[in-house]
Structure 1
Amino acid sequence: MARRRRAALSDKPGTFDPEDRSRVKHTKVGVWDLYEEIPRELEHVPGASRIEQILEIKQNSPYLWRMMKDIASIRSCWFLLCTYALVHFILSLLPAVNLWFSGQMLTIVQTAVETRTVDRQLLLRIAAGRIGTMTLQRFLRLCSSRAQVPLERRLKQHFTQHIFRARARLDLPTFDDPAVQRQLGGATPPGGRTVAAQTLRMSTDLMSACVYVTSQLGVLVNVLREQEDGPLLAALMLGAAFLEHVHNLGQLTTARVWAATTKNDDYLRMQGYKRIVNDPEHRKELIAGNLAEYLISQFVAATRRLGDDDGDFRELNTERVMRGRFHLISFLKGPLGQLPQIIFTLRAAQRPASIPVSLASLQLIQSTANNFTWELYKIYERTASIAEQLADIRKLYNIAEIPNKITDGTAPFPEDTQKIRAGIELEFRNVSFRYPGADIYALQNISFKLLAGQLCVIVGSNGSGKSTILKLIIRLYDPEEGQILLDGKDIRAFKLQDLRQAISVLFQDYTHFPLSIRDNIALGDPEHASDNARIERAAELGGASEFIGRLPDGLDTYLERPVQDYYGDIPAGTHSLFGRKVDYGALRAAGGMSSTANLGLSGGQMQRLAVARTFMRSVVSDEPKVGLLLFDEPSASLDPTAEHDLFVRLRELRNNKTMLFSSHRFGNLTRHADIILYMNDSVIVESGTHEQLLAHGGEYARIWKLQAQAFL
């Protein structure tokens, strides 16, 4: 059984520097460069990798105990877990019972050779016992499978909820951090099986192997004690089988921290050529540009230059390791494996009458030795994988403890919920901000103030910083410098839950969830997600009611199906199944990401749904929840008529709420603004009312005239 191999990044403090030759071993593997970490504290210790695994097991053991307590808290798992463990315990004992029966058969053969008589009753009991053991084994395996499936399903349900909670609580900069994404991925193993289920299987297998070895050893000693040369033959066969497994141990073991890369231009180009030829997205350019012959010639030439160095890393590394297997054990295991046959032959020559007993003993010992050493090998393998498994358990629990980069405040907001009806006062004081990993400022020294109930429009070209202002208000990010104040208090002092409850925002890159249209709108105000009247009213105010009514399922239409349909070799000419487009293939998923396009909805219609979700929270409510409305390019995908209707509804329905728009269009909205902020290159260039900025004759006035001329 092959050991589970997996490259993993170190969770220890510090960095992995491939150029540090004192800490990292470099090996050339074809076109690849392999770098393996040498643990500093174990650098000169023989068997250091094994010691490191033991230290990791000790360090991560508390997480295993934590998982066991979590599993124990799932009441519905107790009976299944006990049944599963008991069944595997009995199954691991049955081979020893069979071995005992085989020993009894040897006794019968020996008696028959010596006395020419057979104890028929004993023979019948042994035969019945072996048949009963085999029947019991089959029954227990059936019980194991019956218990395992629901047990793993319930474990998956429990720990899927854990992962869901851990992911849902992360703020935007924390979630976008590549290190956090790597950590989240490490806590979710591929293949759909959870860490808990994998740990259960590993623990059960290890327990079974230990019980098997212990019981087999006890019975084997008892059976061979009376057989001449039995202990010697057993020792030789066990030794030969053990050397065979040792020969295979550790050959493909890679350092826990390692990295492999290639800088070979020919190999990189070859992989690029393959992508061009294989990917459908490049097919048009390939054909239109007559690139086929050129790519073929370049690919063949690169292949010839690379020669035997060409290949995938794992393939080449496996070949390298296999070449290194020729050592002392290779010489010893062959002769040692032949010694039992030689001893048996010599014994048969000396005592021909003992041949039946000796032959039966030899076969029994050989079979038992192979099984016995295989289980020992499995125990060794399990102890090697325990370190990995415990590390996976640690990752599973650590993701629930990832600290968010946006710190929560302690003050409630607003202190007086009735005052929110009059809007929220907003002020920026010398705010500067750069996105994580960026060198260029998205905002530089921004200062402005909105009084409660005012309407503000931020205008400017794309990339000027308009959307960033809205993101900082909702605290998706925090500024590097300066302060943002709401009602005169620093925004960072407020509880995030309260702050975001009091602000409604529609971003330019708005999101549609893989749910029905009804649920998409309802998520604007989850507390009233079951209020159909509110949902329908929000759809009407967002201008979406008309086209929703034309959809086959109306509000229950899914924008993107979260569950895929599957089908096989359906008859030619079948263009749709379950109301969705068919994509022909041996086994293809229907629905999926193309669902929205399949509905035939335009960008403007999709934007109206996003506006309806915003209205669900901020307008269609009898309670004073929202005091600040933020809209980022809300009419970008709307035609002029729809844009005019939207702005009219917004002005009529906002009551006294403070409202802030960002837009690159200068139109009907700016005429009604209490204050306009014109931005360019991350700074506020001009501010004032529409009339004041036109009179000033600056950039705002120039661009206003340019846009106005387009309609003359």
Structure 2
Amino acid sequence: MCTDPKPSRRRYSQPHHPATQRSRANSQLPPITSCRCVQKAWLASRAIPRRKGTYLMPGAQRPLNEANFKHAMTITRECALDLLKVLWGIHPYRTTLMFFLNILRGLSPAFRCYSQAMIVDELQSFITSDCFTWSRLVRLLVTEILRRAFDGFLDSFATTNERIVHDSARFFVEYQQVAQRLRLDIPTLADPHVRDCLQESDLFVRSFNGMGGFGLLSPFDFVQILALASELVSHIFVLLSLTGGTAHLGALLFSLFSAVLPMILDRYGLATSQADNSYSPQEAKTAERQEKLRSLAYSDVHRSEILVFGLGPWILSSWSAARRAMLTDERYSLTKSNLPDMLKEMNVSDLLFALQNIPLLLMFQSSSVSLGSLALYRSSVQSVVFTVGNLLTTIRMAFQGVFLMGAFCAAMNIQPRLDPPDEDALKYPTNSGGMKLEARHLSYTYPGSKDASLKDINFTLNAGESLAIVGYNGSGKSTLAKVLLRTIDFDTGELLVNGVDIRRLPPRDYHRRISTVFQGFSKFNSTVKENVGLGYVQKLSSHAAIERAIRLGGADSFVGSLPSGIKTKLDATGFDYPSCAGMNAMVPSGFSSASSNKIPHGLSGGEWQRIAVSRAFMRAERPEVDLLLFDEPTSSLDSHAQNKVFDTIDDVSRSSAGKRTKTVVFITHRLSTARRADKIAMMERGTITEFGSHEELLKRDGSYAALYRASV
């Protein structure tokens, strides 16, 4: 799971959030522990006994046995305290207050039962004796009403405080999860254990949606155990203080029976109805927006372009804005109150329930058992029964939650496999004339495959030169392109960039130096502007930059005729976003939405390809870009359009004085185009069999010459 042999302890970054005001620097947050032992314990808990190498499905319940108890203790010891410190540090005072208030709320039911018993006893005294005083009864009733009002206020205040703490913690863990997803590269995500760990980590993050949401338990929900324990202790204390003698014991047994009976009836079909938690239209729109952006972060389809075009920070900031808006909407809806809600907070029904026992007075006129004692017994016993049941359920959920917490801690420490260790990392070696590439005995086999896709690849491409990669389908051309783009690693050999091993260059820094068109380029259900602008998100708001990229890519020939020009929403049905209804979901605040209510416009394959080429040209002219790599960029274009695109590529790769400033690599199946390149690599069965200029390869009269003659 941990891709480095000794994973370093990393600090969680704290995103800005209006509900997360802090009095100390973010760097002072305690770090989460290294994932090595936590990862081993988490993985061992999923192992199926006597079936070596097989594991439980992600999210499956762990059996409660001695081995898993030890694994849970290891995870708790190694990461629980650090994680709680981080979460506590978001709102120190509110978090402390939350724990205190929950313990206090746990004690409240016992006092409520005692108060009710006093009122009932006073009513009994009124009927059975002449010592009754109205003033005392009125005083007890007023006291009870005030106590209930205070309970309602306390519960409302505690709920509001708890919501603030939960929302801040939830935003924090969700932010970390999305940020980590965006950091991870394709080779890392190909590991099945990594994917399982991320899936259970996601379940842990979802547990912060509320108390016991999704049948899960978050660290802050552990406060329920304290509240339930305090409630149980208070009721037991009441029962022990009142139980004495045969009459009291009989009342206790009667109360026990009346408390257990509803549970038996409930087991046979008496279920409570669920509250309506539907979203308002605005909340639904906000929820859809943040979920779409989160899906983009989790997408495997768009992973390559997200990495190469550096879309991670943009997606993260856009999701963060949408998520904050969602949490704000939820909090606003919870602050709404009306008179019926206030009456519910006062729990008037509990008082009426106690008064319903008055008819039983005649049964106890000759007994030392008072009606108030009976009511107190019944309430306390019933509370003990339900509290024990809730406590056991909570403990079981907590046991499973420990392993999800372990998955989260381990997932946050996963390092992208393509990232070099800090001690080996080098800055990108700049070269004013483009990027020099040297491949030495490169080989690569896809995970799970027996046959190598690349075998002993060797070539040298000097800075400023152009290279055409040609060959039959399945010869490894696109795989070599992925290696050159550093979206996948190679198994053996070397790849030097300006004389430096590419494995020592941080991928994010390297990707800033390249622009590309993937063979399977991404299509987004968004506007033309956004589909093109994602090639360089820093210029996404620049109308001039996008118009120029569209012109360079040849897309101006049809964009101008679209219903709303570059604001026309495009239909990319069949990809990650099959529905056009929620297209604004992937557009952060500040994006154009003039065409949001119009039907998405469909494009042909050639038109989509021009959009993809335009996206690459968004950054192709940048001075820091040294390599342009195009994988079949004109496969759906006619010969005229194809020549225009390659003319543009040649122009962009030169300075105003005509000097080559960028290295160009392109894959093509049209050999008439390949002859434009300085060098041609002929690939067969995963290796380069011929390398040289067009004229040199024709003179060799080998595979390239035969393929060329067959194509003309």
TM-score, scaled to structure 1: 0.68
Alignment partner for residue 369 of structure 1, among 381, 398, 423? 381
Query: Which residue of 1 is the match for residue 229 of structure 2?
Result: 210
CA distance in 1, matches of 2:66, 2:684: 60
The alignment covers a number of residue pairs equal to 550
Residues 1:648 and 1:158: Cα distance change in structure 2 (over 3 Å): same
Q: 2:405 and 2:205 mapped to 1: Cα distance?
A: 17
Question: How far did 1:122 drift?
Answer: 2.3
Q: Report the counterpart of residue 103 of structure 1 in structure 2.
A: 117
* Coordinate RMSD, CA, aligned: 4.1
What is the aligned counterpart of 1:157 among 147, 156, 171? 171
2:490 & 2:647 partners in 1: Cα distance? 33
- Displacement of 1:216: 2.3
Structure 2 residue 466 is matched with structure 1 residue 451: no
What is aligned with 1:702?
Answer: 706
1:617 aligns to 2:619 (yes or no) = yes
- Aligned AA (1:202): D
Which residue, out of 122, 125, 131, partners 2:145?
131
Contact 1:428 1:485 in 2 (8 A): yes
Partner of 2:597: 579
Cα distance 1:434–1:14, how it changes in 2: closer, same or farther (>3 A)?
farther
Deviation, 1:172, is: 0.9
Which residue of 2 is the match for residue 643 of structure 1? 642
**Secondary structure, counterpart of 1:599 in structure 2:** coil
In structure 2, which of residues 650, 663, 667 is the aligned counterpart of residue 662 of structure 1? 667
Structure 2 counterpart of 1:664, one-letter code: H
Indicate conservation of the 8 Å contact 1:113/1:354, yes or no: no
Aligned to 1:518: 529
Matched residues in 2 for 1:12 and 1:232: separation?
53
Return the alpha-carbon distance in structure 1 between the equivalents of residues 107 and 697 of structure 2: 89
For the Cα contact (< 8 Å) 2:204–2:405, is it kept in 1?
no
Q: Is contact 1:521–1:535 with CA below 8 Å preserved after alignment?
A: yes
What pairs up with 1:418-429 in 2 under 5 angstroms?
420-429=431-440
Q: Distance in 1 between matches of 2:235 and 2:45?
A: 47
- Identify the residue that residue 193 of structure 2 maps to in structure 1: 179
Residue 385 of structure 1 and its aligned partner are, at CA, apart by: 1.6
**Is 114-123 or 229-238 further displaced after alignment?**
229-238
Q: What's the CA shift for 1:82?
A: 5.9
Q: Which residue of 2 aligns with 1:43?
A: none
Q: 1:480 aligns with which of 485, 491, 497?
A: 491
Counterpart check, 1:542 vs 2:553: yes
Determine whether 1:554 maps to 2:565: yes
**Contact 2:620 2:652 (8 Å CA) reproduced:** no
Structure 1 residues 554 and 208: CA distance shift in structure 2, 3 A: farther
The residue aligned with 1:400 is 412
- Determine if contact 2:444/2:454 at 8 Å carries over to the other structure: yes
Distance in 1, matches of 2:61 and 2:105, equals: 41
Q: Which amino acid aligns with 1:684?
A: I
Greater Rg over alpha carbons, structure: 1
- 1:676 matches 2:676: no
Match of 1:605 among 590, 604, 607: 607
From 385, 401, 417, the counterpart of 1:389: 401
Aligned match for 1:431, one of 433, 436, 442: 442
Q: Secondary structure, in 3 states, of the residue corresponding to 2:397?
A: helix
Q: Deviations over 1:325-377 (max 9, x none)?
A: xxxxxxxxxxxxxxxxxxxxxxx99x974259456644542332122121122
1:70 maps to 86
- Equivalent in the alignment of 2:274: none
**Contact map agreement 1:187 1:392 (CA 8 A) in 2:** yes
Alpha-carbon distance in structure 1 between the residues aligned to 2:61 and 2:182? 35
Query: Where do 5+ consecutive residues of structure 1 fail to align?
Result: 1-7, 25-34, 39-47, 250-347, 568-576, 582-597
Deviation at 1:604, TM superposition (A): 1.6
Q: Per the alignment, in what secondary structure is the counterpart of residue 638 of structure 1?
A: coil
Q: C-alpha displacement at 1:36, in angstroms?
A: 10
Tell me, yes or no, if the aligned pair for 1:412 and 1:498 is still in contact at 8 Å.
no
1:12 aligns with 2:26: no
- 1:704 to partner: Cα distance: 2.2
SS in 1 for 2:366: helix
Deviations 1:177-227 (A, max 9, x none): 2322221121123996537865266234323212222222333444455x7
**Mapped partners of 2:395, 2:631: distance in 1:** 56
Q: Distance in 1 between matches of 2:229 and 2:239?
A: 15
User: Greater shift after overlay, 394-403 or 487-496?
Assistant: 487-496
- 3-state SS, counterpart of residue 194 of structure 1: helix
Stretch moving more, 444-453 or 201-210: 201-210
Task: Write the mapping of 1:97-496 to structure 2, written as runs, cut at 5 A.
Answer: 97-105=111-119, 107-108=121-122, 111=125, 115-189=129-203, 194=208, 198-199=217-218, 202-224=221-243, 229-231=247-249, 233-234=251-252, 238=256, 353-355=365-367, 357=369, 361-408=373-420, 410-415=424-429, 417=430, 420-496=431-507
Counterpart Cα distance in 1 of 2:46 and 2:123: 67
Give deviations 1:222-261, integer Å, cap 9, x for gaps.
Answer: 4455x76314643685599689989999xxxxxxxxxxxx
Matched AA of 1:663: T
| Structure 1 residue 153, shift from structure 2 partner | 3.3
Aligned-partner residue type, residue 471 of structure 1: K
Q: How far is 1:659 from its partner?
A: 1.2
Q: Distance in 2 between matches of 1:139 and 1:37?
A: 40
Question: What is the CA deviation profile of residues 70-123 of structure 1, one whole-angstrom value per residue up to 9, with x for unaligned ones?
Answer: 333335x854x5665555444333322222123324543665576443233222
